[in-house]
A and B are shown apart, each in its own frame.
Chain A
Amino acid sequence: MAVENSLQHTQQPIKNIDELAVSLRIYYVIVWHLVCGIISLVFALMMLAPSIFESTFLENTGNTLTDISESAIFRWSPEGFIDGFLLVFFVVFGAAMLGFVPGLLQHRSRARLASLALNYVGALLSAFYMLRQMTVNEAMLLKAIGGKADNSLFVERLLQGAEVLPLVLLFGLATWTLFGQRVGKVYQETLDQREALFAYLYISPYLLLASIFTIGLLIMAFYLSFNDLDLYGPVNWVGLENYQEALEDEKFLVSISNVVWYALIVVVAQTIIAFGLAVLMNEKFGGRRFFRTVFYAPSVTSSVVISLIFLWLFSGRGFVNQIVFNWLGLGGFIEGLGIRIPPGSPGLQWYNTPNRLGDISYLKPFFGDTWFYVYGLLLLALAVLMGSRVIVWIKQNAYSPKAARTIFIAAAALTVILVSLYAAWQGLAGTEEIVRSAILLSALGLVISTVMMNRLKLASPAAYAIRSTLMGGTAWMLVMVVANLFLGGEINGINAGVLAIGGAMFGLLAGAIAANVSYTQSRKPQQEILVSENPTLVERLSEFGGVGLPVLLALFTALGAWIATKAYGLQQGSNLGDKDFDALLMRGPSVAFMTIMLQNIFTTAPTFMLMYLAALQDVSPTLYEAAQIDGANPWQRFTKITVPLLRPVTLLVVVLSTIGTLQLFDQIAIITRGGPLDTTLVPVYLIYTTALGSQIQARVGYASAMAFILGAIIFAFTYIQRRYLEEGTEGY
């Protein structure tokens, strides 16, 4: 779009290669000036403010190397004139380089000549500076091994460096001749080209930082997760071992089960509370702004402050115990729950109580190994929902209902085949690793195929389904083959067949999702839900499938990965014993964790209240009036108008708070540090302590692997949010 626009707007479009080359040259020169200028200013700033920006890390680790940089010659001080000189140079040079950019853009010849001269000086002095830095490093090393380092070392290196001076000069001249000299030819440069230059200038800080601190870090995280390393030692490639270890690590499983409970309870509670508050605040009454301000106050203060206040309020001698034990007299009730009040304490020490509430592990004998089949049934139900969605989509797009029915039946049948074959395959072939990696990578394959599907624009739904099936299948096959090779498994006929069917199935699912997405985006179903009368069963199902489908899909994929892995582990005699994942999950959150949940609800519910409030104010009052005229009572108006209209906001709130709660960290780090008895251990805190908790064993690679597993779960939710809420954000 933008490219076309800019081409249309260009008064003088680029005609031939020559002009393109000239414009490329001027870009080069300007970028060169910008880079030089910024680097110089950064150098200057670093030298100017050593006391503010000085690293204290080395000092605290007892590193003796730092005293060399503190010592006389290498610091900016009255004695060390080199640094003083360099500082002045960098300031002047940086400013001049940046200052020439406008002059170059307007092609003033004086600016060009001056910049040429400055380029030479800059190159020389930068080389000088870098040489000096190298000498500092060398001196540090020398000093560390007991040698002596002084100015003579620098002079020696300087003389050595001077040998390459002619080379530097030649290179500079060549560069200038090639790229700089003909800059003057671009006098006829159009307005739009200059505009593009400025635009790149304006977004360059973002591009630079994003490429390092977003994309760079992501790649680095991915790389690190396949390696075994600490912060100081060498890097060893270990393949998928870190991931494997994470799935068998009891602490990690505990943290995941904790955070699942946390997310479940907090998301549900704070969504309901936020909704209730918003409805309460929506009508006009005196002091409404005052109350809104009061309600929102907990959300603006920092988590540290709230945590500290809550830690104090819920301590043994805090106000909460006063209220619970003395005012409400609930001491007997709490003891009845089996929670022991510590001797010598006037009440419960909330953050130090590991008792888990809501223990349902007695249900385990009734399920046991059947978890896996329960998952299969859930998957089947999901396929039914999705199939109905596809049917409605096809119907509404005026294609033959017969074809729709066929696709639906095919999808359902394939699901059944897949589930049963998959279960059979588990018992028949493959090592444990293959099963585990297959399930884990299924999430990845799903994401890949979904993305691919969304890029496809096909004529008819039948072609759509076929193509997506094929493409999804291929993607799935590839993923599985790679997984097998990675783990040294074998690929036999049965495996390949199951894989193909699995791939086809997932492709179909992906196609359905894509169809669903395009439908949601084009039709805005939440408007239609209001006006539809006498919906059929399929339509009702599809309604649910449309909104809840992606959430369910992500949840089931994650859940299925866990449960199937664990079910397999149980059959083979897992080394986890009684502490396998589903058993952990059944034991519920501890009192300490529930107190933290309470705090999170207290701080976050007001934020979501504001979101609901903003959406409520967009609801047209005529809808309510019309309903009132038709004889709807307040409750009916609430359930038939308010709730359906707020469904997009609810989805947003649920997704945002799920993402937030899965990344819980601050409260744990401040209040409980994962204790008591690991009942408040959460993944991000575990990752943090694994990588940086102790100086002796800092397992960076392993922590990155855990972060990636958590990240995959969070990414699923974020992806749903982006896909489904794009239209919601367009309004702003």
Chain B
Amino acid sequence: MAAVTQKTTALPQFNTRIVGMVLRYILLIAIGLTFMMPFLLAFLGGFKTDREIFDFPPRILPDGWTGGGRYNEENAPEHYPLTDLFNSELIPFSSDAVITDPRDLSQSPFTLRGESQVGWTVRDQYGLSNWVNVFKAGECQRGWLGGYCFPYWLWNSIFLAILNVTTRVFLATLAGYAFARMNFPGKDAIFTFMLATLMIPGAVTLIPGYVLIADIGWVGTFWSLIIPSAVEVFGIFLMTQFLKSIPKDLEEAARVDGATQWQIIWKIVIPLVRPALIVLAINAFQGSWNNFLTPLLYLRGDPKVFTLPVGLQYFQQNFRQQWNLTLIGSMFNAIPVLVIFLIFNRYFVEGVSYAGVKG
């Protein structure tokens, strides 16, 4: 009897667990797809030709990949999507002129390249040439990276990211060490003041920031993006807290052995706080690489000094028919962060745990 009752109770339990698990995975996959779909569609959209990208109904895979030929010159559809493009895509601009004809080069600060305009050739049925054409995206004043804007944007972003990460990590580590390990008059007052400055909303200092930067003559230069953000309170706070959690016996021992302050920092402290340094570096990289508002504000004027996010926005607003190139440009911005995210997944999560103090 007992065995039978056990069996009858065990069976439904087992079933509900299986059903629950299946339901959970279905739900998870659905949510995961929702979160990944925009990226996937955009990535695939980057391989489409100039015409295909505006065709309706849109298809998920590029035509060339499925062996299509829908956009061959001979059997091009009667209804040519580009013709009524600007009747349908009207976003009112407040001050800028609306480009009425994409072929009229005088209306755009860019010069369209012949290759990217056609986009689709017989040889390039997989749309890979878009990845090359994006580097010829717009015409800039000729410089050391050639006469097109996109390479400059990419380089500017990389350059700024390197400088920002270096300065922020270095200076935050120094300051964090001072707050966590050293005694000096006014330490608590300065630390409290530092946390208090986090409460100042960014919107308030936006405009005077521009006025100041313009007064110094840094508008259009990278100083404006390096110096004001060279030290981050968030970074100092993170380093301070992390260092406080590490026992200081090792340092004391080194000090007794006659090591100097610098030796203690570089030989003993830095190896110990490597996880925090990675969190800090990732945070600084993400902040610099994804930053939009300050570069938009300070890097006014010549498109050559834009960073990638500002450049992408600029490109999109001047070239609203070139969606395939815009999407590829976006991929250049998104993929480095996503790759770093995949590698250092754990540290991103840790960074979010600290975000409570960031405001």
Q: Which of B194, B211, B356 contacts A700 (CB 8 A)?
A: B211
Q: At the interface, yes or no: A368 with Cβ under 8 Å from chain B? A: no
**Bound-state Cα–Cα, A721 to B198, Å:** 11
A669-681 vs B, Cβ < 8 Å mask (1 yes, 0 no): 1111111100000
Q: Is B228 an interface residue (CB 8 A)?
A: yes
* Per-residue contact bits, chain B 211-243, to A (CB 8 Å; 1 contact, 0 not): 110100111111100011011010010000100
Residues of A within 8 A of B183 (CB): 2, 5-6, 9, 192, 195-196, 199
Tally of B interface residues using CB under 8 Å: 117
A309 to B140, CA, bound (A): 25
A669–B316 alpha-carbon span in the complex (Å): 12
A607 to B183, CA, bound (A): 36
- Give the residue among A57, A293, A347, A672 with the most B Cβ atoms within 10 A: A57
On whether the beta carbons of B39 and A297 are closer than 8 Å, the reply is yes
Residues in chain A near residue B207, CB distance under 8 A: 221, 224, 687, 691-692, 700, 703-704, 707
B71 an interface residue at 8 Å Cβ cutoff?
no
Known: A192-B183, A317-B55, A707-B203. A295 touches B208 (CB 8 A): no
Q: Is the CB of B42 within 8 A of A732?
A: no
From B178, B196, B290, contact of A304 by CB (8 A): B290
Task: Output the least CB separation between B217 and chain A (Å).
Answer: 5
B66 neighbours in A (Cβ, 8 Å): none
**Are B231 and A209 in touch, CB under 8 angstroms?**
yes
Question: A326 — which chain B residues lie within 8 A by C-beta?
Answer: 57
- Choice from A55, A196, A206, A676 contacting B194 with Cβ under 8 Å: A206
Cα distance, A687 to B353, chains bound together (Å):
32
What is the interface of chain B mostly: helix, strand, loop, or mixed? helix
Chain A: residues with Cβ within 8 Å of the partner, total of 127
Is B47 in contact with chain A by the CB < 8 A criterion? no
Contact of B179 among A57, A203, A721 (CB under 8 A): A203
Q: Which of B93, B207, B330, B356 has the most CB of A within 10 A?
A: B207
Contacts of A349 in B (CB 8 A): 88-90
The residue in chain B whose Cβ has the minimal distance to the Cβ of A351 is B91
Say whether, besides A285-B21, A300-B348, A302-B309, A732 and B36 are in contact (CB < 8 Å). no
Among B184, B196, B305, B334, the residue within 8 A (CB) of A301 is B334
The reply to whether the CB of B56 lies closer than 8 angstroms to some CB of chain A is: yes
Beta-carbon contact of A673 and B221 below 8 Å: no
How far in angstroms is the closest Cβ of chain A from B278?
15
**B111 adjacent to chain A (CB < 8 Å):** no
Q: Contact between B58 and A318 (Cβ–Cβ < 8 Å)?
A: yes
**Please, which residues of chain A bring their CB within 8 A of the CB of B202?**
663
B36 touches A52 (CB 8 A): no
Answer whether A311 and B355 are a contact pair too, CB < 8 Å, given A1-B188, A57-B220: no
A683 to B207, CA, bound (A): 13
- State in angstroms the CA–CA spacing of A3 and B183 once bound together: 8
Chain B proximity of A270: nearest CB distance (Å): 13
List chain A residues, Cβ under 8 A from B93. Answer: 673
Check A333 for interface membership: any CB of B closer than 8 A.
Answer: no
Q: Is A310 an interface residue (CB 8 A)?
A: yes
Which of A401-409, A546-554, A578-586, A712-720 lies at the binding interface?
A712-720
B182 touches A195 (CB 8 A): yes
CB of B313 within 8 A of chain A?
yes
State A631–B313 Cα separation when bound (angstroms): 58
Query: Any chain A CB within 8 A of the CB of B268?
Result: no
Give a binary string over A190-233; 1 marks a CB under 8 Å from any B CB, 0 the rest: 00100110111011011101101111111011001000000100
List 14 contacting pairs A-B, 8 Å CB cutoff, sorted by A.
Answer: A6-B185, A199-B184, A203-B174, A209-B227, A221-B205, A231-B211, A293-B342, A297-B35, A308-B312, A344-B87, A349-B89, A670-B292, A673-B94, A703-B207
Which residues does B use to contact A, with CB under 8 Å? 21, 24-25, 27-28, 31-32, 35-36, 38-39, 41-42, 45, 54-58, 81, 84, 87-95, 171, 174-175, 177-179, 182-188, 190, 194-212, 214, 217-223, 227-228, 230-231, 233, 236, 241, 261, 286, 289-293, 296-297, 300-302, 304-305, 309-310, 312-313, 316, 323, 326-327, 330, 333-334, 337-338, 341-342, 345, 348-349, 352-357, 359
A-B complex: 6 closest residue pairs judged by Cβ atoms: A302-B290, A2-B187, A60-B301, A196-B184, A6-B183, A711-B204
Residues in A lying within 8 Å of B, measured CB to CB: 1-3, 5-6, 9, 52-57, 59-61, 192, 195-196, 198-200, 202-203, 205-207, 209-210, 212-218, 220-221, 224, 231, 277, 280, 285, 287, 289, 291-298, 300-306, 308-313, 315-319, 321-322, 326, 342, 344-347, 349, 351-352, 602, 606-607, 610-611, 614, 652, 656, 659, 663, 665-666, 669-676, 683-684, 687-689, 691-694, 700, 703-704, 707-708, 710-711, 714-715, 718-719, 721-722, 725, 728-729, 732
